[in-house]
Amino acid sequence: MGKGSGYGKVILFGEHFVVHSIPGVVSAVDSSTDAEVKKATKTNIRDERKTSKGYGEEKRLQQIESIERMLTAMQLDPKLPLDIWIGGSLPGFSGLGASAASSVAIARAISEELGLNLSNEEINAVAYEGEKAYAGNPSGIDNTAATYGGLMWFKKNPAGGQDRVEKIYVKQPVEIVIGSTGKTANTKLMVEGVAERKKKDHEKYDPLFTQAEKLADAGRKALETGDLKKVGELMNENHKILQEIGVSSEELDLLVDMARKHGAIGAKLTGGGGGGCMVALTPDKEVQSKISSAFKTAGYEFLATKIGIQT
């Protein structure tokens, strides 16, 4: 039996913009997806992750396509029969990089079961191919975070070559709360929607993309110097831009407002938007607990975790 794991992630700065080669800041979270793979006579996938309602059904066909894409990338028969189990501590919520985490975990488990001995770089490339089933035109930021962990600066290579990835080091891990709207988002449609609107309205979108790049740069510097108050302010600004490009939702805005009212120093949607998750910066256990309780009372699922854990 082959085993593998992949980290979940939150994007602190740059979702959607990273697809267009604007830099972003992403952190793995202290939760992961695990996978086990065995050779079999027919393919069987058992997904036992805790998920938001409808997530498994919504992603089922994409999951099958993803596995076939990864097998092809490994130069294997895409219909190779495998028994695959998926679990772990990372919930299946849209926006947490759950699909990338599962792709990395499955790729590692297949590599181990079949004795392929793939390197992290090769696992990352295989998982990127798997991500195409979920995101259409993925930036590569999710699978990179899922593969390597830690906090990083990411810039997609527009020519399709090596992406720019640089580790960011913080003095100590930072508490966050991720709130789930309970709505499963279609990342592929959200990414295509932004690209289409940008193409039609350069006058509106170009300045927003320029602003997003400045925010990501300032966010990186604030993280490196330990200025969490500044990081929070920049996250709030980033959320406004994401609202303006049409990827937030009523539920996301509600959770963001709720988190800020209960002491978050910054809160924004994370991931593709249109549902899925938001992230609140809660730089101490007391604020983290207060926001977690508020989400629980209001009936929303959440994950209290940390970013900036070095791997």
Q: Provide the annotated active-site residues.
A: 142
Give the other-Cβ count within 10 Å of 163's Cβ. Answer: 17
Judge residue 260's burial from the number of C-beta atoms within 10 Å of its C-beta, 0-12 exposed, 13-18 middle, 19 or more buried. middle
Q: Please state, in angstroms and rounded to a whole number, the distance separating the CA atoms of residues 147 and 127.
A: 9
Whole-angstrom CA distances from 102 to 66, 234, 287 are 10, 30, 30
With contact defined as beta carbons under 8 Å apart, do 175 and 288 qualify?
A: yes
Q: Please state, in angstroms and rounded to a whole number, the distance separating the CA atoms of residues 38 and 44.
A: 10
**CA-based nearest residue to 256, from 245, 246, 265, 267:** 267
Longest dimension (CA), the chain: 56
Residue in the structure block whose two tokens are 């300045």: 207
Give the other-Cβ count within 10 Å of 30's Cβ. Answer: 20
Contacts of 67 (CB under 8 A, 6+ apart): 45, 82, 84, 106, 130
With contact defined as beta carbons under 8 Å apart, do 34 and 70 qualify?
A: no
